Amino acid sequence: MVYIRQDKLPKLKEYKYSGVDHSLVSRYIMKPFYTNVVIKCFPMSMAPNLITLTGFMFVVINVLQVLWYNPTLDQDCPPWVYASWSIGLFLYQTFDAVDGSQARRTHQSGPLGELFDHGVDAVNTTLEVIVFAACMNLGQGWRTVMVQFATLLTFYIQTWDEYHTRTLTLGIVSGPVEGILTLCVIYMITAIKGGGSYWHQPMLATLGVSDFGVIPDWIYALSWVDWYIVYGGAMVVVNTLWSAENVLHARRARGQRTRVALLGLLPFFGAWILIPAYLYLQPIILYHHLVPFVFFVGIINAYSVGQMIVAHLTKSRFPFYNVLVLPLVYAVIDSAGPLMLEQFGFGWPSALGNDIYQVAFMFSCLGLAVGVYGSFVIDVITSICDYLDIWCLTIKHPYVEGKQAQLEHAKDESKKTK
């Protein structure tokens, strides 16, 4: 399958990165650190995308540790494991931030860099959900599902915002900066406190806040995890409304219809109607095989985000279709039949059942998702590299100062001669 049409390839040469970062932490702390210290650790011969991929490997190592020490997401790990998660995530953030600086100083900036950077971030979003759930001992259940929903929605909305406004905008408090730093602190505190079970204590009591009879008992009894979910939910609502306002304002300024842009949220919410429905109908997946299902859902979102990025780079129509949602449609229909038969007297028998075949189907969906998304990544990267005459993980044409001026001078002399 061809993911970039030939007639859209020339649009790649029109690409210009546009980004606005309002974060004070980023402006006064992180960027000076990256510019004055970190960037000097990388040789000029190292490709920016290789820096991005190297940073991503730290998160992969963290996830492998989760699968070894806490595959059910509800057990305490050795303290050093949590500390390594904190260090790994911080290194990922650092490498992810420095790749842009490396691209500018090596003169390798281009559309492939944005695609590669955002694509890695899209996959990392779900991997970090797994690590965070293991850190908080959320277990396999609805809490982990809620965390993934909020996390994926935030990333999807941000990409949707960039597609319509043509500018990557980060607020005063953003996930890539303050969000990641907060997680690094949480992981390190967990290491100091000895495990994720610490976060299941009542937060107010742990902080020494006395109950003077004013605070309702149910609020006073809320654990750290509960408060985090409340806080995360509020931030998701605020960020969604803020991005929606950005998109509507940008389209009004260009004289375009505004409500049409909101249709771009349908692919995400359509998938997330099916996901909880399937998990409700199949408790065996929710409570016993949630981790591979989370990976499957993460790839669904990464594929949608990847299509949006490609559409943004090639100035194409917004991508509404995601083939990876179709297995979910079938799974929900198949699982709903027996329930309807029991509740209403009409329905159909399940072809997959509620046991081993259902689990096998879910793993097949994961395999399909890996194959489809893998083919998408390879095809898009290959198409861009071939058209722009570049390589992905190495620098094909190193920048030589003054070379461009020499070439232009030679062209001028050639014209004069003719």
- Residue 168 belongs to what H/E stretch? strand 168-170
Instruction: For tokens 């742990």, name the residue.
Output: 206
Rounded to an integer, what distance in angstroms lies between the CA atom of residue 187 and that of residue 16? 37
**Residues in Cβ contact with 256 at an 8 Å cutoff, skipping those fewer than 6 apart:** none
Look at residues 326, 322, 324, 331 and name the one whose alpha carbon lies nearest to residue 285: 331
Look at residues 306, 392, 319, 366 and name the one whose alpha carbon lies nearest to residue 121: 306
Q: What is the DSSP letter of 27?
A: I
Count of CB atoms situated within 10 Å of the CB of 187: 24
Question: Residue 285 is encoded by which pair of tokens?
Answer: 């997946």
Q: How far is CA 300 from CA 185, 304, 310, in A?
A: 29, 6, 16
Rounded to an integer, what distance in angstroms lies between the CA atom of residue 90 and that of residue 183? 9
Rounded to an integer, what distance in angstroms lies between the CA atom of residue 345 and that of residue 340? 7
Indicate which residues carry an active-site annotation.
118
